[in-house]
Amino acid sequence: MKLQMGLKYGFPSEDIVTGIAIQCRGWKSIYFNPVRKGFLGVAPTTLLQSLVQHKRWSEGQFLIGVSECSPFIYGHGRIPIQLQLSYIPYIFWSPNFLPTLYYIAVPSLCLFRAVSLFPKVTSLWFLPFAYIVITSYSYSLGEFLCCGGTLQGWWNEQRMWVFRRTSSYFFAFLETILKLTGFAKSGFVVTAKVADEDVLQRFMRDEMEFGAPSPMFTLLATLAVLNLFTFTWTLAKVVMDWEIMVLEPLALQVVLCGLVVLINLPVYQGLFFRKDNGKMPASVTSKSVIVSHTPAQGDFRRPAWIGMFMAELWFSFFWFINQSVRWNPIRRYTFKEKLYQRSLSPTLLVQFA
Backbone angles phi, psi at 327, to 5 degrees: -70, -30
- Structural domains in the chain (count): 1
Q: Nearest to residue 187, comparing CAs of 210, 171, 167, 208? A: 171
> How far is 68 from 16, CA to CA, in rounded Å?
14
Q: What is the mean pLDDT of residues 231-252?
A: 74
First to last CA, the chain: 30
pLDDT recorded at residue 258 = 92
Q: Which of 35-49, 122-136, 218-232 has the highest mean pLDDT?
A: 218-232
Q: Nearest to residue 260, comparing CAs of 170, 167, 158? A: 158
Average pLDDT value over all residues in the chain: 79
In a domain, 104, yes or no: yes
Listed range (27-31, 272-276, 304-308) with the worst mean pLDDT: 27-31
pLDDT recorded at residue 342 = 42
DSSP 32-83: ---SS--EEEEE--SHHHHHHHHHHHHHHHHHHHTSTT-TTTTTTTTS-HHH
pLDDT recorded at residue 173 = 92
Listed range (56-65, 226-235, 332-341, 342-351) with the worst mean pLDDT: 342-351
In a domain, 293, yes or no: yes
What is the pLDDT confidence band of residue 24, given thresholds at 50, 70 and 90? confident
In a domain, 7, yes or no: no
In a domain, 128, yes or no: yes
In a domain, 8, yes or no: no
> How far is 64 from 73, CA to CA, in rounded Å?
10
In a domain, 1, yes or no: no
Summarised one tens digit per residue, pLDDT across range 150-167 is 888 899 889 999 999 999
* 48, 172, 214, 344 from 52: Cα distances, Å: 6, 9, 10, 23
What is the pLDDT confidence band of residue 1, given thresholds at 50, 70 and 90? very low
What domain range is 167 assigned to?
14-352
∠ CA 158-160-161, rounded to 5°: 60
List % helix, strand, coil for the chain (3-state, nearest 5): 60, 5, 35
In a domain, 105, yes or no: yes
Local structure of 189: helix, strand or coil: coil
> How far is 243 from 226, CA to CA, in rounded Å?
22
> How far is 168 from 162, CA to CA, in rounded Å?
10
DSSP 210-274: --S--HHHHHHHHHHHHHHHHHHHHHHHHHHH--HHHHGGGHHHHHHHHHHHHHTHHHHIIIII-
In a domain, 2, yes or no: no
Q: What is the mean pLDDT of residues 12-36?
A: 77
